[in-house]
């Protein structure tokens, strides 16, 4: 997976859905002598994250040392804030992912999602429909009612959570069906 997913993380933020990408060389994470380089990158990423109220940090790697060190450094350099989300895409063995989550506070206690696809176990929902309950909550989930070319009213969704779920649906081959709800009490 290193060829497909080089060591990098992206910082998505809500200001018109901009993206900041910080690419890191593997040597930065493995050599103590280059810790200053990692420190500078994480400090810059934190400055970007602090300029917005909603940020999603995406990390892709199948190197457990990279993920472990990223979790340690992101806590040390305060990359993640209260409303930040961390998503890690990897292809590590299930037991190794569990060990990483259990050993790092950032992975177990922050708003973190680990999407793991073991190398010999491709994941697909085979085009199934996944029901989702969501209510408009800016900037995470937005609903706009528009008219299509047949003058029918259509709901269009946007927002950070919708785009995240849409990306996951595309990757795992499923369709999103938003179930109409009028309140959170109805969802419970």
What's the mean pLDDT in 149-172? 86
Could you tell me how many residues make up the chain? Answer: 188
Residue 3 is predicted with a pLDDT of 36
Res. 168: pLDDT tops 60: yes
* Euclidean distance between CA atoms 185 and 169, whole angstroms: 26
CB of 93 closer than 8 Å to CB of 138:
no
Residue 6's pLDDT band (cuts 50, 70, 90) = very low
Residue 30 is predicted with a pLDDT of 56
* Per-residue model confidence as pLDDT tens digits over 104-133: 888 888 778 887 776 666 667 778 888 888
- The phi-psi region of residue 159 (left if phi > 0; otherwise alpha if psi is between -120 and 50; otherwise beta) is left
Asked whether the CA dihedral 170, 99, 63, 25 is positive or negative, the reply is: positive
Range of the domain at 59: 8-116
Residue 7 is predicted with a pLDDT of 44
Indicate if 33 and 105 belong to the same structural domain: yes
Residue 66 is predicted with a pLDDT of 80
Residue 167 is predicted with a pLDDT of 83
What is the number of domains present in the chain?
2
Residue 33 is predicted with a pLDDT of 44
Residue 188 is predicted with a pLDDT of 63
Indicate if 93 and 139 belong to the same structural domain: no
Res. 28: pLDDT tops 70: no
Look at residue 3 and tell me if it is in a domain: no
What's the mean pLDDT in 61-81? 81
Residue 120 is predicted with a pLDDT of 62
Residue 69 is predicted with a pLDDT of 80
Name the pairing type of β-strands 55-60 and 85-90.
Answer: parallel
What φ, ψ does residue 72 adopt, rounded to 5°?
-65, -50
Indicate if 19 and 54 belong to the same structural domain: yes
Residue ending a domain, among 116, 147, 179, is 116
Q: Helix (H, G, I), strand (E, B), or coil: what is residue 148?
A: coil
CB of 181 closer than 8 Å to CB of 155:
no
Residue ending a domain, among 67, 83, 116, is 116
Indicate if 88 and 181 belong to the same structural domain: no
Indicate if 106 and 46 belong to the same structural domain: yes
Residue 58 is predicted with a pLDDT of 81
Residue ending a domain, among 95, 116, 137, is 116
Q: Helix (H, G, I), strand (E, B), or coil: what is residue 86?
A: strand
Indicate if 143 and 107 belong to the same structural domain: no
């Amino acid at each position: 997976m290193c060829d497909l997913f080089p060591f990098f993380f992206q910082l998505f933020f809500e200001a018109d859905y901009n993206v900041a990408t910080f690419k890191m060389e593997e040597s930065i994470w493995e050599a103590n002598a280059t810790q200053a380089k990692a420190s500078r990158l994480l400090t810059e990423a934190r400055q970007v994250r602090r300029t917005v109220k909603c940020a999603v940090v995406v990390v892709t790697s199948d190197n457990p040392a990279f993920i472990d060190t990223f979790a340690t450094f992101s806590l040390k350099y305060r990359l993640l804030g209260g409303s930040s989300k961390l998503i890690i895409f990897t292809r590590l063995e299930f037991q190794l992912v569990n060990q990483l989550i259990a050993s790092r506070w950032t992975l177990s206690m922050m708003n973190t999602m680990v999407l793991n696809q073991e190398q010999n176990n491709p994941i697909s929902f085979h085009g199934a429909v996944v029901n989702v309950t969501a209510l408009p909550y800016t900037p995470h989930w937005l609903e706009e009612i528009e008219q299509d070319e047949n003058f029918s009213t259509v709901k269009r969704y946007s927002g950070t959570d919708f785009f995240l779920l849409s990306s996951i649906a595309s990757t795992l081959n499923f369709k999103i069906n938003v179930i109409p709800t009028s309140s959170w009490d109805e969802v419970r």
